Amino acid sequence: MWLSSSKTHGWSAATVGLALSGLWACGSAPPASLTDARPAEAELVPAIVDSPDSEDRRGTPRLVVLGDSLTAGLGLDPDEAFPARLQERLDSNGYELRVVDAGVSGDTTAGATRRLEWALDGDVRLLIVALGGNDGLRGLPVEQMKGNLKAIITTAEERGVQVLLAGMEAPPNYGPAYADDFRNVFVDLAREHEVPLVPFLLEGVAGEADLNQSDGIHPNAQGAERVAAHLWVTVEPMVRQVVEETGP
């Protein structure tokens, strides 16, 4: 069933523009990507997120977060990124799922499709797709992004993996038409595939100086915690359903 953990149109155009102006516009144009760093080969291998006191979790069902530097936690310690915060919530609620942080800094939806096989390796039960930021920053064609995201969702569905789609907003520099088309990609795919949608991954964080690092783009530790809390509203019911349907 298609659903949303927040109001799909809860952010007015003016509010989004204001937040993204703080998010992207430190000068006249947005950066080329969410990081200037090129991912090394080692970064293409998804990282297992375990709490410090956890035992060996080989064979434990997995929750994968497929994303870019926002997921990878650029500028943060590994245990401060939002996937690690999700692992903490899973552990504290007794859910036997192992979070895999499949975030690669600078990645686009096209790059993510090329490493999807790696990301879905093992007993993956749930996939959070948190992509699109770099596509928007580069002004890449909206239909191209939609096709890539559709391919990711379809591949996961064919493997029986539950999908949560996390949306992103395009920077205002490319105009309102591009921003509207960009936003609608996530809404349309969620409806088409009947998957849960979190309309804006950075809701409540974008544009908030005290929740972001000095670049104004990447959440700090407090901001990453806010992202995890925002996602958890939708993630927990999905986890509960996965556990009930498939067992531990």
Residue 96 CA neighbour count, 13 Å, CB half: 13
The domain spans of the chain are 13-24+57-246
Is the pLDDT higher at 165 or at 248? 165
- Asked whether 166 and 129 are in contact (CB, 8 A), the reply is yes
Does residue 243 carry a pLDDT above 60? yes
Return the CATH superfamily for domain 13-24+57-246: SGNH hydrolase (3.40.50.1110)
Closest CA to 97 of 130, 64, 129, 73: 64
Does residue 246 carry a pLDDT above 50? yes
Instruction: Write down the catalytic residue from 69, 101, 135, 230.
Output: 69
pLDDT tier at 18 (50, 70, 90 boundaries)? Answer: very low
Task: For the beta carbon of residue 243, count every other beta carbon within 10 angstroms.
Answer: 16
- 69 as an active site residue: the answer is yes
- Asked whether 57 and 98 are in contact (CB, 8 A), the reply is yes
pLDDT by residue (tens digit) across 58-94?
A: 579 999 999 999 999 999 999 999 999 999 999 999 9
Task: Give the amino acid at 156.
Answer: A
pLDDT by residue (tens digit) across 191-221?
A: 999 999 999 999 999 999 999 999 999 999 9
How much is the pLDDT for 40?
41
- 56 as an active site residue: the answer is no
Instruction: Write down the catalytic residue from 9, 54, 180, 215.
Output: 215
- 53 as an active site residue: the answer is no
Closest CA to 208 of 221, 223, 229: 223
The strands making up 124-130's β-sheet, listed across from edge to edge, are 47-49, 98-103, 62-67, 124-130, 162-166, 197-198
How much is the pLDDT for 47?
56
How much is the pLDDT for 25?
40
